[in-house]
Amino acid sequence: MDKFLKTLEKKDALILQNESLKKHCSFGIGGIAKLFIYCNNVKTLKLIHENFKKYYIIGYGTNVLFDDKKNKIPFVKLDGYFKKISFKGIYVTAGAGVNLFKLNCELKEKGLGGLEFTYGIPGSVGGAIFMNAGAFGQEIGNYVSSVKVFDGKKIFWTNSFQFFYRNSSFKKKNLIILSVKFKLFISNKEKIEKLQNKYFLQRKASQPYDKKSAGSVFKRIYFENKLIIPAKIIDNLGLKGVKINDAQVSEKHAGFIINNNNAKFKDVIKLILKIKKTVKNKAHINLEEEIVILKGKTNVHFGRLSYTHNI
């Protein structure tokens, strides 16, 4: 293993051993990753795939809850080459590791509109596409022209994909997203900036933006032909503000669970289960998590590949 790690370092990878996962997620919760690899190019990614039976690819960890225990499965973050942005007319190509804040700033300068609703989402392009991130009635998948992917054997561009609510065919097909080509439209800097600020202020006003969280915990669902917004149900059932140690249902937005200071994995899990049980018993609705939960033997692997969100 040491020999292989040295090979990765020669390929320009940054390898951290016994790295705290708290530093790599917005929840501020997590144990130790035995290996945390910053992958800077495609060759390194192929080597990682060839030498590890399982590995996680993560973005900025903004919708993931890590276990507090030590995780022996390597964590891989796409960096370097995967953070490039290029423009050609109304098309913009962004690497999977590009931060959405960074992308929005570049789009504003270029006068390209469409993705303003993503301003304020603190995640990566790869994760946003993988889970089809959305807000304010819009979804990022609507602006995707083609995607560069790795299927474990070859790397190729594809425009054969589908997007669903907080999901995509990339997840179902075990594909790692490397780059994304967006088709946008001509706008102007002032209009784009105005929209970006509008969405950002709406987020700050309605969400616990200054608290540690992983965003919306539960997906919206259809129940008896009606769209159910989990936050409203949770609020109506008197669960807003409920705590289990330092894990708390946000008093600002009942769809969020926040880490007040030193919340543990088990605290958040217990709170999620309490919410689901209460909603099931009193409203007869089964809630489904939107956040990705990584725990020991119950970790969700998509074949040999895992993508936690990456966003």
Measure Cα distances from 158 to 55, 74, 145 in Å.
Answer: 23, 27, 9
Q: Exposed, middle or buried, 155 (CB in 10 Å: 0-12/13-18/19+)?
A: middle
Q: How far is CA 93 from the centre of its chain?
A: 19
Which of these, 309, 101, 311, 122, lies nearest to 209 by C-alpha position? 122
Catalytic residue among 124, 139, 290, 306: 290
Measure Cα distances from 243 to 35, 128, 254, 258, 271 in Å.
Answer: 33, 30, 12, 10, 7
Measure Cα distances from 230 to 27, 118, 150, 218, 243 in Å.
Answer: 20, 21, 35, 6, 18
Distance CA(255)–CA(251), nearest Å, equals 10
Annotated catalytic residue 166: yes
Annotated catalytic residue 203: no
Which of these, 107, 110, 25, lies nearest to 60 by C-alpha position? 25
Which of these, 276, 161, 142, lies nearest to 219 by C-alpha position? 276
Catalytic residue among 124, 213, 216, 250: 216
Length, in residues, of the chain: 311
Contact 127, 307 (CB under 8 A): yes
* Total Cβ atoms within 10 A of residue 275: 22
Residue type, 284: H
Distance CA(192)–CA(109), nearest Å, equals 9
Torsion of CA 121, 126, 130, 136, to 10 degrees: 20
Strands 64-66 and 292-294 come out as parallel
Annotated catalytic residue 251: no
Catalytic residue among 166, 169, 203, 289: 166
Active site residues: 166, 216, 290
